[in-house]
C-alpha cells in the first residue's frame, strides 16, 4: 500500500488556516483546540521533512511547500466531497424501488428497451415492470400500486381527475403482408381492398384485439367487415403467420423493428389513411415521487428528444 505523508484532517486544517488567517480562528472553525492544530501541523512537517509556514513573520505565510500542498488539498477535498455525495445518492437510489406499468404492446416491445438503457445508466436501480391492460395499469397508478405507467389504450374517464396524463409518443398500426403477396405491387391500396384480404388477428376476447379494433373504427375502417381467417394468442404468432403466407395483419410499428429491418414482411400503405394512436404517460400527482422516479421520468423524455434529433 502506498504511503502518504498527510491525511484528510491535516488538509482540512491547512484550508482552515488559509481562510481564517490564524491558528486560533482555524481551531474554532473546526471545533478543535489550538494545541491540537499545532500538533497536527508539526506531525505533517516532520513527515514531509519540510516547513509549511514561514516562522519568522508576524502574519501566517505559507512556504512554497505549504502553497503546493494547499493547492492539492483543495482539489482532494473537493473530490472527497463529490465522492461522499455520490455514495449518499447511490444509497438513496438503491433504497428506492420503481414499479412501472404498461399496456401489453408497450410493455412487450417498447419498455424493455427503455428500461434496459435506464439500468445501464443507473446499474444499481431496482425496477419492476408490470404488463397489463390500460384499464388495470391506470387503476394501479391511481391506487399507488404502480409509480408510473405508459399505456396505449383509453384511460378510464373516472380516473382523469385523479391522474396526470401526458402524451408521450405516437404509435402506428401497420398493415403487414407476406413478401410474395399479390398486392405488394400496389403503391397504395384503397379502404375497400381491406375487406377482400384474409386477416390474421388476436383472439376476439383479448384486450389488445379490442384496442386494435377501436383504433381501426376511429380511422373509418369497419373492423367487423374484415375477414378474419385465423385468430392467434400473440402478436409474435401473427407476425410468424404473415411471414408464412397465411394472411395479413395489423401490427404496431414498435413490434416490427426486426421484421422491417430484415424485410421479412411487406408494409402496405393505405390510401388517405394512417392508423395512429398516442401512447400516454400516467402518474399520480399525489403519490410520493422518489429520486428514482424523477430519473426515469427524465430518461424517457431524453430518449424521445434523441429520437427526434
pLDDT tens digits, one per residue of 105-133: 999 999 999 999 998 888 877 899 999 99
Residues 115 and 134 in one domain: yes
Residue 186 covered by a domain: yes
Answer with the one of 93, 110, 135 that is the final residue of a domain. 93
Residues 242 and 301 in one domain: no
On whether the CB atoms of residues 229 and 198 are closer than 8 A, the answer is: yes
pTM value surpassing 0.85: no
Q: What is the largest CA-CA distance in the chain?
A: 103
| Per-residue confidence (pLDDT) for residue 160, from 0 to 100 | 94
Residues 283 and 250 in one domain: no
CA separation (Å) from 290 to 96, 117, 145, 297?
7, 19, 14, 11
Domains contained in the chain, number: 3
Q: What is the mean pLDDT of the chain?
A: 88
Q: Name the percent of the chain lying above pLDDT 70.
A: 95
CA separation (Å) from 69 to 52, 57, 62, 75, 228?
9, 20, 10, 10, 80
Residues 113 and 203 in one domain: no
| Rounded Cα–Cα distance for residues 278 and 172 (Å) | 9
Give the model confidence (pLDDT) of 175-224 as tens digits.
999 999 988 888 888 889 999 999 999 998 888 888 889 889 988 899 99
**Domain CATH code at residue 296:** 3.40.190.10
| Rounded Cα–Cα distance for residues 151 and 138 (Å) | 8
Residue 3 covered by a domain: no
Answer with the one of 28, 60, 93 that is the final residue of a domain. 93
Residues 103 and 224 in one domain: no
Residue 201: domain span = 171-276
H helices present in the chain, as ranges: 8-20, 23-29, 34-48, 64-95, 104-105, 111-121, 134-142, 191-194, 207-218, 235-243, 257-262, 291-308
What is the C-alpha end-to-end distance of the chain, expressed in Å? 49
What is the number of alpha carbons within 13 Å of residue 113 lying toward its C-beta?
Answer: 10
On whether the CB atoms of residues 74 and 221 are closer than 8 A, the answer is: no
CA separation (Å) from 112 to 116, 154, 183?
6, 22, 34
Residues 158 and 287 in one domain: yes
For 166, the grid coordinates are 401526458
Task: Show the CA angle centred on residue 132, arms to residues 114 and 281, nearest 5°.
Answer: 50
CA separation (Å) from 205 to 80, 209, 211, 297?
60, 7, 11, 33
The pair phi, psi for residue 180, each rounded to 5°, is -105, 15
Residues 65 and 109 in one domain: no
Give the model confidence (pLDDT) of 39-96 as tens digits.
988 888 888 888 888 876 677 888 888 889 888 888 998 898 888 877 776 666 555 6
Amino acid at each position: 500500500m502506498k504511503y502518504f505523508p498527510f491525511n484528510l484532517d491535516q488538509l482540512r486544517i491547512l484550508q482552515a488556516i488559509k481562510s481564517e488567517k490564524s491558528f486560533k480562528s482555524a481551531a474554532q472553525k473546526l471545533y478543535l483546540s489550538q494545541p491540537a492544530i499545532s500538533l497536527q501541523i508539526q506531525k505533517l512537517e516532520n513527515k514531509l521533512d519540510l516547513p509549511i509556514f514561514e516562522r519568522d513573520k508576524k502574519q501566517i505565510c505559507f512556504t512554497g511547500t505549504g502553497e503546493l500542498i494547499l493547492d492539492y488539498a483543495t482539489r482532494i477535498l473537493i473530490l472527497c466531497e463529490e465522492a461522499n455525495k455520490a455514495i449518499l445518492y447511490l444509497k438513496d437510489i438503491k433504497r428506492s424501488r420503481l414499479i412501472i406499468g404498461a399496456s401489453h404492446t408497450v410493455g412487450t416491445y417498447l419498455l424493455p428497451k427503455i428500461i434496459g438503457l435506464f439500468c445501464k445508466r443507473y446499474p444499481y436501480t431496482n425496477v419492476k415492470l408490470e404488463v397489463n391492460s390500460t384499464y388495470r395499469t391506470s387503476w394501479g397508478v391511481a391506487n399507488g400500486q404502480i409509480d408510473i405507467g405508459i399505456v396505449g389504450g383509453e384511460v378510464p374517464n373516472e380516473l382523469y381527475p385523479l391522474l396526470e396524463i401526458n402524451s408521450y409518443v405516437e404509435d402506428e398500426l401497420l398493415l403487414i403482408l407476406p413478401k410474395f403477396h399479390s398486392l405488394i405491387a400496389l403503391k397504395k391500396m384503397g379502404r375497400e381492398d381491406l375487406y377482400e384480404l384474409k386477416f390474421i388477428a388476436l383472439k376476439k376476447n383479448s384486450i389488445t384485439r379490442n384496442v386494435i379494433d377501436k383504433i381501426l373504427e376511429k380511422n373509418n375502417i369497419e373492423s367487423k367487415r374484415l375477414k378474419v381467417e385465423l385468430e392467434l394468442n400473440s402478436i409474435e404468432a401473427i407476425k410468424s403467420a404473415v411471414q408464412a403466407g397465411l394472411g395479413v395483419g395489423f401490427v404496431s410499428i414498435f413490434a416490427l423493428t426486426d421484421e422491417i429491418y430484415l424485410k421479412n414482411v411487406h408494409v402496405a400503405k393505405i390510401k388517405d389513411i394512417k392508423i395512429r394512436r398516442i401512447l400516454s404517460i400516467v402518474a399520480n400527482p399525489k403519490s410520493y415521487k422518489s429520486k428514482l422516479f424523477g430519473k426515469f421520468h427524465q430518461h424517457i423524455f431524453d430518449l424521445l428528444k434523441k429520437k427526434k434529433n
